[in-house]
Amino acid sequence: MDLKQELNTTQYEAVTTTEGPVLVIAGAGSGKTRVIEYRVLHLIQNNIDPSSILLLTFTRRAAREMLFRASRHNTQCQDVDGGTFHSFAYRMLRKYSQSIGLSPSFSILDEGDSEEAIQRASSKHGVYEEKPGEKKRFPKKDTLKSIFSAVINKGFSVAETLNREYPHFLKFSPEIEKIRIGYEEYKKAKGYLDYDDLLIYLKSLLSDETTNEKISRRYRYIMVDEYQDTNRLQGEIVFALGSRHNNVMAVGDDAQSIYGFRGATHENIMRFPKEFPGCKIITLEKNYRSLQGILDVANPILENMEKKYPKRLISTQEFGGGRPIMNYFANAYDEAEWIAGTIRGFLAKGFPPDEIAVLYRASHLSIPLQAELAKNGVDFRVFGGLRFYELAHTKDVMAYLKIIANHKDELAWHRVLTMAEGIGPATADKIIEEINSGADMGTAMARVLGKYGAGHKYSAELKKLITFLNAASDKKHGIEEQLSLVIGYYTPIMEEKFDDWPQRATDLEALERLITHYHSLKEFLADLAIEPPEKRGIDFKTEDKSVTLSTIHSAKGLEWGTVFIIALADGYLPSQFALRDSAELEEEQRLLYVAVTRAKDNLWLSLPMETERADLPRVNKLCRFLAAPNVLGKISEMGGNY
């Protein structure tokens, strides 16, 4: 393949500079994934071992896209290693955990598990106990989790974090700090790693000289996409990975930085040339994606920002394309109905469904649309929001599997025990204490049965559960069989627990199909936490082409011929939570910029006028970033639907 024909001059330079540090600053749609794609190809054509190339990025979708595109041209590219920082961390830790004194039998806590663990850790500190005369407006577990996560990802203390983000909880600073330490100790004692720990342990793995040398010898070419979305910790990981050979390429666009809320910082881009002296900086400005009509809206959105981004995207397309169209509707249901009808019309005319996407700020905004699309018989896939593994019934089934994989997983036991009739949180804790004192599954279970197997109202139920878990743990079963045993046991519980159990039963079948790709329960459970299928139905039928529904965050790095952006009201975008802080507000503005630049040919904007929410004004106002005259002037407004 002649690279010079496939790439423009700057892209070519980025692709062929294979030795030494390179920083690529790339505008939206300027072909940065293309650069990574062809650089991998170029390296392999120059006899570089594909398994010595490592591609890293922050989101799973971007990681998948990157690896998929790279492997299109040359099958050897399939051996290129890569994924999210978290999945890479997991693999390295599995391999080298001993070198930092971490037990190799650690298990991963997903977000929900972490919150449970925090609650368990905090109850031991008695913070939730009511003191007389003191009303407890104490942060809830999910808030605690995000405080602790900010402490790690942004590098602030608990007090500083509270001061910046939760000033109303500042008075609880000492208690919260106590819980944080309790949570850390709890995880250490139980061998649990949460998402943040994966990165922390990876970093300490890389600061171990011997391990760093081993890893650096294996991965000689590092490429990081969406570098503006990495946080300090991830930046340090990149520096540590590249410190020995300096063959690191980072690709990013600070105008598309939308993960500030979790600690991503554009400082990583600024720091990169300092960490890697002699770094070559390449800027890509030509837009290959969108028609000029779309860029005419995107450019002023950038220009209106206080922080200046010097890029102005120029379309390379021959035809200008029409202006994006703004539609107003009475409410979200009218909006959904119209969009679903329009999409059905496009499909009827032969538009490929995988070239159509609907984007929105928050996942719940897609619910009316999901209903309308289903009514219209349009197949769609949903990205972002609640994930498959976070559904209550999936988590239930996984809890049984976690016990089978590790009989001391006390969070899993807690969930499983409280599902049994007559056992609530208090009894579950007593039983768990007994389990913890047994050295192996067999003795632990025997002790539990000895103590609670008779004489309580729940004894029969407990006996049934223990007998089942013992039988299902038998090594003679394959993992597929173990899963179907668990589902068999759980199904009556599910039918009791949920009115809509038939729908949930389908999800469990999907789980059965998914597990066939795995060899061990441990691997299956870890993957479900770190690289899970996106949502119901998704990934189980990837060959199907369907319309995409996605949060703007999850849409980054992707493109479609026709894009609808819905719910463009102040309060939704920008989110009402971002209104108080100018930095957060700018992030919302960049978010709109990202959304607009996803479109290649057609862009439809829309706004429902009526709010359902009591905390917003009754009549919506157009998103302030679109209402700016230099932006609005580039949009055709259609009032007719309202």
Partner DNA sequence: TGAGGTGGGTTTTTT
Partner DNA sequence: ACCCACCTCA
Q: How far apart are CA 569 and CA 575, in angstroms?
A: 9
CB nearer to DNA: pick between 421 and 480: 421
DSSP secondary structure letter of residue 24: E
Q: How far apart are CA 255 and CA 193, in angstroms?
A: 33
b (16+ CB within 10 A) / e for 181-192: ebbeebbeebeb
CB nearer to DNA: pick between 60 and 522: 60
Please give the order of strands across the beta sheet that includes 380-383: 380-383, 547-551, 356-360, 560-565, 599-608, 325-329, 636-638
Residues that bind DNA (CB under 7 A): 58-61, 84-87, 111-112, 136, 140-142, 146, 149, 195-196, 258-259, 261-262, 361-364, 383-385, 387, 391-392, 418, 421-428, 500, 530, 551, 553-554, 575, 577-578, 584, 613
DSSP secondary structure letter of residue 139: P
**HEC per residue, 175-219:** HHHHHHHHHHHHHHHHCEECHHHHHHHHHHHHCCHHHHHHHHHHC
CB nearer to DNA: pick between 154 and 553: 553
Nearest Cα to Cα of residue 334 among 641, 5, 3: 641
Q: 32, 408, 535, 556: which is the annotated catalytic residue?
A: 32
DSSP secondary structure letter of residue 247: -
226 is catalytic: yes
292 is catalytic: no
Q: 115, 225, 229, 253: which is the annotated catalytic residue?
A: 225
Q: How far apart are CA 178 and CA 172, in angstroms?
A: 10
Residue 427 Cβ vs DNA, minimum distance, rounded to whole Å: 3
Strands 325-329, 107-108: pairing is unpaired
Residue 168 Cβ vs DNA, minimum distance, rounded to whole Å: 12
DSSP secondary structure letter of residue 372: H
- Assigned token pair, 555: 């849409």
Residue 424 Cβ vs DNA, minimum distance, rounded to whole Å: 2
Per DSSP, the three-state class of 8 is: coil
CB nearer to DNA: pick between 242 and 574: 574
33 is catalytic: yes
256 is catalytic: yes
Q: 61, 145, 311, 598: which is the annotated catalytic residue?
A: 598
516 is catalytic: no
Residue 534 Cβ vs DNA, minimum distance, rounded to whole Å: 8
CB nearer to DNA: pick between 137 and 274: 137
CB nearer to DNA: pick between 118 and 547: 118
Q: Which residues are bridge partners to 549 per DSSP?
A: 358, 382
Nearest Cα to Cα of residue 62 among 286, 258, 201: 258
Q: Which amino acid is at 461?
A: E
Q: 256, 394, 551, 589: which is the annotated catalytic residue?
A: 256
Q: How many CB atoms lie within 10 A of CB 81?
A: 16
Strands 107-108, 221-224: pairing is unpaired
Residue 325 Cβ vs DNA, minimum distance, rounded to whole Å: 25
Residue 585 Cβ vs DNA, minimum distance, rounded to whole Å: 11
Residue 636 Cβ vs DNA, minimum distance, rounded to whole Å: 28
The verdict on whether omega for the bond into residue 368 sits within 30 degrees of 0, i.e. cis, is no
Q: Which residues are bridge partners to 98 per DSSP?
A: none
CB nearer to DNA: pick between 190 and 553: 553
Q: How far apart are CA 112 and CA 108, in angstroms?
A: 11
Angle at 454 between CA 449 and CA 458, to 5 degrees: 90
CB nearer to DNA: pick between 49 and 461: 461
CB nearer to DNA: pick between 424 and 617: 424
For the chain, give percent helix, strand, coil, nearest 5. 55, 15, 30
Q: 65, 113, 115, 226: which is the annotated catalytic residue?
A: 226
Question: DSSP strand E in 271-404: where?
Answer: 280-284, 286-287, 314-315, 325-329, 356-360, 380-383
- Assigned token pair, 450: 């000895």
Residue 234 Cβ vs DNA, minimum distance, rounded to whole Å: 10
Residue 594 Cβ vs DNA, minimum distance, rounded to whole Å: 11
**Residues marked as catalytic:** 32-33, 225-226, 256, 598
